[in-house]
């Protein structure tokens, strides 16, 4: 490059104005092209977000509604409690299944006339198999129902639900669809007379996972997630902040400190499943903590979120102006007093932002929880950290793996809730960070 | 058990707190601070004691309460110089212990993986594991311990790398373009709105991507394969998993590259523009070359993420371990097999379960190597800038 080159011939330097303009045009065209490519990349990413959200919403949104049928049930004294004992044991053993089945068959026969045995079976299948248990619970809660003909809204079968929501094509051959012509006729009649309707699916929020998709909910998963978040906050926050304070305020640069720093940065990038394997080997196999429990899940998630919180807390401490420390020293405070009474309070918003990011990470994490056996059907929500539980993302994984349209829909609905939770936590963190930056 | 630990902690902390306070009292003139501090320790302690015996509150709540009480006591201590010095020393040691926890966690990971992996290697020779080309672990529930099956890592490694490459082929160009636009072309307002929008993508839990791949992308690709190419593609194929994994990595690549582009000194950018370069020329001939090592490190970090990602591949990639070039084929990865070998009804001491630890160790070493190199490059790059 730097070797002396012969002076250019004068003829070559004579570039016309038209030529320069053409070159400039070409260069600007290339610039515009690059710019448009960048914009296209961004638009593509944003349309991917839209597609993802759109797909989840179309799949899951309908699960927030539940189809119910209004049935007049014969809750006469002879059928529930013939000896009038009032004993809960006897009342709970009455044949509610027969009562529910009779009610729906009776209703159908008003529309269709007398039905054959096979048709009666088809009609009985319209009501959820869990309906008798719901009737039993209602009777036990409200004894006044005994001896009356009570009209109750009971959940319909999952296929009826899908049919009413238009998720089953009506034009395909009768033998290949789950709702036959007779059932369809009865459903249409019930709908026309206002005895079959869609309600907001409260069961989805109040009941635990069930083998009947029409009444399956995520109460136990929500409780499990909440328990684990509490454990993460209780453990990762003090430990993480303490580690950050040491590294930022007390540690003098040394081999030991740089080893810790490298460790923290690397731990933040270790695949989450490795933490699951660690939890299985250490907490379950060595310490013999019970499997599938929130305490083990919480510990594993704590280890996972600890690096995130340490890094965020260090950044928050770094951002505290030096003048605050000097003022405290000047008034005779010790190093520890300076840090705890003056530096830490100023850094709190930043630390909380980091904590929220850590919680978001913990709430959405699935793989390590599957490793410690939390992918289980938990029929009862429990606040005990030592009894088996599940979590929202794990429930998504489980529901998505189950066959049947109803479960996919439920998985979609669970994802909608999970996304609302995670995105609002993220926006809260972003908002706090924004406020914090402004103030300093 | 936890109740007892909690109770012991409470007694220890309140007695300790009172002791310290009693010794400090003579030197203090204002009693308010002390009363305040005592209230902070004694009240939670009393409450916790009631909780243990009357309300049957779980032990860990009590431990947490005790810890809060103890911390409050420490923080509200009166300032007698000699006492303060001693407490400061204790506090610093405690803080250092918390920082040292990071090393303990790493050691825990390495030792637990190593210990269980060594037990696996007592059943299967390391050579057969690392260089075996057949993955066929028999079920250990058959009871016959002599039949151990074959545990070849290579098919799993192939699937892992194949899916990661597909993901990076999607994520790197798109992520880089996003970063270029955001760093160099976007107006202030565009940047303020588009960057958070991309971060939304980064905040979505991976199980959501897995569901998307399983329910939407997998079947779509399989149908498209049938209709356009006449290939019998299974609904769980390497392409679906790879593409969705790529979508997940876009914001990761874009935000890391964006950081690197923005950290290129203003003077270099201004210099190029002052010499008459267009923005595109400044970008491609000055800024990109300056940021290249950092961007490469970012891509390496993204690759490490791709290799370690679990949920998307568990839900969408399939379970057949095969070495295949066909993107429509079902493939499996190291992470999928870790999940499969450790869930379900396996006897824990069998090679069929223990292999998961050997796989975990392999995964840990692979990702660790990538991360260490990437972080080293980033740090060197940063120091260079400063």
- Could you tell me the CA-to-CA distances from A324 to A142, A428, B202, B362 in Å, in that order? 65, 27, 36, 48
Of A303, A335, A419, the CB nearest to B88: A335
Contact B102 A260 (CB under 8 A): yes
Averaged pLDDT for residues A270-294: 89
- Helices (H), ranges, chain B: 2-24, 31-50, 59-75, 81-121, 126-131, 154-180, 188-203, 206-212, 218-224, 238-262, 266-274, 279-282, 288-308, 311-316, 334-342, 351-385
Q: Which of residues 201-260 of B touch A (CB under 8 A)?
A: 201, 203-212, 214-216, 247, 250-251, 254
Contact B208 A56 (CB under 8 A): yes
What is the average pLDDT value for chain A, to the nearest integer?
A: 87
- Kindly tell me if the per-residue pLDDT of B317 is higher than 60: yes
| Least confident range of A266-270, A410-414, B64-68, B334-338 | B64-68
For chain B, say whether A432 makes contact (Cβ under 8 Å): no
CB atoms near residue B315 (< 10 Å)? 27
Percentage, residues of chain A above pLDDT 70:
96
**What is the model's pLDDT at position B35?**
52
Angle at B82 (CA atoms; ends B81, B86), nearest 5 degrees = 115
Instruction: Give residue for tokens 């807390």.
Output: A313
**What is the model's pLDDT at position A211?**
81
Q: Which of residues 157-186 of B touch A (CB under 8 A)?
A: 173-178, 180-182, 184-185
- Select the residue from A223, A255, A271 to test the B interface by mutation, using most B Cβ atoms within 10 A: A271
Q: Which of residues 244-273 of A touch B (CB under 8 A)?
A: 245-247, 250-251, 259-260, 262-267, 269-273
Q: How far is A41 from chain B (nearest CA, A)?
A: 5
For chain A, say whether B3 makes contact (Cβ under 8 Å): no
DSSP string, B193-243: HHHHHHHHHHHS-HHHHHHHIIIIIHHHHHHHIIIII-----SS-HHHHHH
| Least confident range of A118-127, A174-183, A294-303 | A174-183
Report the SS3 class of residue B309: coil
> Tokens representing B224?
């498209």
Between A218 and B2, residue with greater pLDDT: A218
**What is the model's pLDDT at position B33?**
47
Q: Give the H or E element holding residue A200.
A: strand A196-200
Instruction: Give residue for tokens 């740089």.
Output: A258
Contact A384 B251 (CB under 8 A): no
Q: Which pLDDT band, with edges at 50, 70 and 90, does A410 fall under?
A: very high
- Select the residue from B63, B119, B174, B203 to test the A interface by mutation, using most A Cβ atoms within 10 A: B203
Q: Which of residues 62-81 of A touch B (CB under 8 A)?
A: none
Q: Locate the chain B residue with the closest alpha carbon to A360.
A: B203
Chain A / chain B CB contacts < 8 angstroms: 281
Q: How far is B309 from chain A (nearest CA, A)?
A: 7
Averaged pLDDT for residues B257-271: 90
- Phi, psi for residue B171 in degrees, rounded to 5: -75, -40
Between A104 and A378, residue with greater pLDDT: A104
Quote ipTM for the complex.
0.89
**What is the model's pLDDT at position B21?**
53
Using one digit for the tens of pLDDT, what is the confidence trace for A43-70? 999 999 999 999 999 999 988 989 999 9
What is the average pLDDT value for chain B, to the nearest integer?
A: 80
- Kindly tell me if the per-residue pLDDT of A282 is higher than 60: yes
Between B272 and A112, residue with greater pLDDT: B272
Q: How far is B109 from chain A (nearest CA, A)?
A: 6
- Kindly tell me if the per-residue pLDDT of A358 is higher than 90: yes
Q: How buried is B6 (Cβ within 10 angstroms: 0-12 exposed, 13-18 middle, 19+ buried)?
A: buried
Residues 6+ apart with CB under 8 A from B146: none
* Contact list, A400 vs chain B (CB under 8 Å): 210-211, 214-215, 315
| Least confident range of A422-436, B56-70, B147-161 | B56-70
| Least confident range of A97-106, A190-199, A376-385, B340-349 | B340-349
- Select the residue from A52, A275, A375, A423 to test the B interface by mutation, using most B Cβ atoms within 10 A: A52
- Cα A287 from chain centroid (whole Å): 30
Averaged pLDDT for residues B21-46: 52
Averaged pLDDT for residues B299-312: 94
**What is the model's pLDDT at position B237?**
84
Of B91, B106, B308, the CB nearest to A273: B308
**What is the model's pLDDT at position A312?**
92
For chain B, say whether A200 makes contact (Cβ under 8 Å): no
Between B33 and A214, residue with greater pLDDT: A214
**What is the model's pLDDT at position B70?**
62
- Cα A170 from chain centroid (whole Å): 33
**What is the model's pLDDT at position B29?**
37
**What is the model's pLDDT at position B32?**
46
Percentage, residues of chain B above pLDDT 70:
73
Averaged pLDDT for residues A370-389: 82
| Least confident range of A207-221, A265-279, B37-51, B163-177 | B37-51
| Least confident range of A28-42, B139-153, B237-251 | B139-153
Q: Are B156 and B135 in contact (CB under 8 A)?
A: yes
**What is the model's pLDDT at position B346?**
61
- Kindly tell me if the per-residue pLDDT of B101 is higher than 70: yes
**What is the model's pLDDT at position A340?**
87
Q: Which of residues 315-344 of A touch B (CB under 8 A)?
A: 334-337, 340-341
**What is the model's pLDDT at position B80?**
63
- Kindly tell me if the per-residue pLDDT of A285 is higher than 70: yes
**What is the model's pLDDT at position B31?**
45
> Among the ranges A47-61, B13-27, B136-150, which has the highest mean pLDDT value?
A47-61
- Kindly tell me if the per-residue pLDDT of A8 is higher than 60: no
**What is the model's pLDDT at position A243?**
93
For chain A, say whether B364 makes contact (Cβ under 8 Å): yes
- Phi, psi for residue A199 in degrees, rounded to 5: -120, 160
Using one digit for the tens of pLDDT, what is the confidence trace for A80-103? 888 888 788 888 888 889 899 989
Strands B150-151 and B135-136, bridge-based pairing: antiparallel
Using one digit for the tens of pLDDT, what is the confidence trace for A306-342? 999 999 999 999 989 999 999 999 998 888 889 988 9
Q: Which of residues 19-78 of B touch A (CB under 8 A)?
A: 58, 60, 64, 67, 71, 75
**What is the model's pLDDT at position B27?**
42
| Least confident range of A304-318, B52-66, B92-106, B277-291 | B52-66
Of B173, B185, B339, the CB nearest to A371: B339
> Among the ranges A79-93, A184-198, B161-175, B337-351, which has the highest mean pLDDT value?
B161-175
Of A32, A267, A423, the CB nearest to B106: A267
**What is the model's pLDDT at position B148?**
63
Distance from the first to the final alpha carbon of chain A: 50
């Amino acid at each position: 490059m730097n070797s002396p080159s012969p002076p250019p011939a004068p003829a070559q330097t004579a570039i016309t104005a038209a030529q320069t303009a053409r070159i400039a045009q070409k260069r600007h065209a290339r610039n515009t092209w690059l710019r448009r490519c960048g914009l296209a990349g961004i638009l593509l990413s944003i349309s991917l977000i839209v597609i993802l959200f759109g797909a989840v919403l179309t799949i899951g949104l309908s699960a927030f509604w539940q189809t119910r049928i209004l049935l007049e049930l014969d809750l006469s004294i002879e059928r529930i409690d013939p000896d009038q004992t009032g004993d809960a044991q006897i009342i709970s053993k009455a044949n509610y299944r027969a009562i529910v089945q009779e009610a729906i068959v009776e209703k159908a026969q008003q529309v269709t006339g007398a039905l054959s045995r096979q048709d009666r079976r088809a009609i009985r299948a319209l009501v959820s198999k869990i309906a008798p248990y719901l009737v039993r619970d209602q009777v036990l809660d409200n004894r006044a129902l005994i001896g009356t003909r009570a009209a109750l809204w009971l959940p319909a079968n999952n296929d009826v639900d899908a049919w009413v929501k238009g998720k089953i094509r009506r034009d395909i051959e009768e033998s290949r669809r789950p709702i036959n012509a007779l059932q369809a006729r009865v459903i249409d009649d019930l709908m026309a007379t206002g005895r079959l309707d869609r309600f907001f699916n409260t069961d989805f929020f109040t009941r635990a996972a069930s083998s009947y998709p029409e009444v399956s909910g995520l109460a136990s998963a929500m409780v499990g997630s909440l328990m684990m978040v509490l454990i993460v906050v209780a453990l990762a926050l003090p430990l993480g902040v303490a580690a950050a304070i040491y590294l930022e305020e007390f540690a003098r640069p040394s081999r030991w400190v740089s080893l810790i720093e490298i460790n923290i940065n690397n731990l933040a990038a270790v695949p989450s499943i490795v933490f699951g394997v660690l939890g299985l080997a250490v907490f379950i196999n060595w310490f013999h903590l019970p499997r599938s429990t929130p305490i083990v899940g919480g510990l594993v998630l704590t280890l996972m979120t600890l690096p995130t919180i340490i890094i965020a807390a260090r950044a928050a401490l770094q951002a505290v102006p030096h003048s605050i420390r000097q003022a405290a020293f000047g008034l005779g405070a010790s190093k520890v007093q300076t840090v705890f009474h003056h530096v830490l309070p100023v850094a709190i918003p930043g630390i909380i932002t980091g904590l929220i990011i850590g919680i978001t990470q913990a709430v959405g994490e699935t793989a390590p929880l599957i490793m410690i056996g939390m992918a289980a059907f938990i029929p009862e929500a429990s606040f005990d950290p030592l009894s088996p539980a599940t979590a929202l993302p794990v429930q998504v994984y489980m529901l998505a793996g189950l066959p049947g349209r109803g479960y996919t829909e439920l998985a979609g609905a669970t994802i909608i809730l999970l996304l609302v939770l995670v995105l609002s936590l993220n926006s809260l963190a972003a908002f706090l960070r924004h406020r914090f930056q402004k103030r300093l | 058990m936890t109740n007892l630990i909690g109770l012991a902690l409470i007694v220890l902390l309140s007695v300790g707190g009172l002791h310290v306070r009693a010794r400090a009292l003579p030197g203090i003139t204002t009693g308010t601070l002390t009363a305040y501090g005592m209230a902070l320790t004694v009240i939670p302690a009393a409450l916790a004691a009631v909780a243990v015996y009357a309300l049957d509150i779980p032990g860990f709540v009590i431990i947490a309460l005790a810890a809060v009480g103890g911390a409050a006591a420490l923080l509200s201590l009166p300032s007698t110089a000699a006492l303060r010095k001693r407490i400061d020393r204790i506090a610093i040691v405690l803080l250092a212990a918390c920082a040292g926890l990071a090393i303990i966690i790493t050691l825990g990971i390495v030792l637990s993986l190593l210990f269980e992996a060594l037990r696996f290697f007592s059943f299967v020779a390391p050579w057969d594991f690392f260089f075996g080309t057949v993955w066929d672990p028999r079920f250990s529930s058959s009871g016959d311990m002599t039949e151990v099956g074959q545990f070849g890592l290579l098919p799993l490694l192939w699937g892992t790398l194949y899916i990661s490459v597909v993901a990076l082929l999607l994520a790197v160009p798109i992520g880089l373009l996003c970063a270029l636009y955001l760093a160099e072309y976007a107006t202030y307002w565009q940047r303020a709105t588009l960057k958070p929008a991309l971060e939304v993508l980064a905040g979505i839990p991976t199980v959501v991507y897995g569901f998307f791949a399983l329910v939407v992308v997998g079947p779509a690709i399989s149908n498209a394969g049938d209709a356009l190419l006449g290939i019998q593609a299974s609904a769980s194929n390497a392409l679906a998993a790879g593409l969705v994994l790529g979508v997940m990595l876009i914001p990761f690549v874009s935000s890391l590259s964006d950081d690197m582009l923005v950290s290129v000194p203003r003077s270099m950018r201004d210099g190029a523009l002052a010499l008459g370069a267009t923005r595109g020329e400044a970008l491609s001939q000055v800024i990109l070359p300056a940021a290249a090592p950092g961007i490469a490190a970012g891509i390496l970090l993204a690759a490490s993420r791709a290799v370690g990602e679990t949920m998307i591949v568990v839900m969408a990639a399939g379970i057949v371990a095969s070495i295949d070039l066909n993107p429509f084929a079902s493939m499996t990865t190291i992470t999928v097999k870790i999940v499969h070998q450790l869930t379900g009804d396996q006897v824990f001491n069998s090679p069929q379960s223990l292999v998961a630890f050997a796989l975990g160790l392999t995964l840990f070493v692979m990702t660790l190597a990538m991360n260490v190199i990437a972080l080293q490059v980033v740090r060197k790059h940063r120091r260079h800038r400063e």
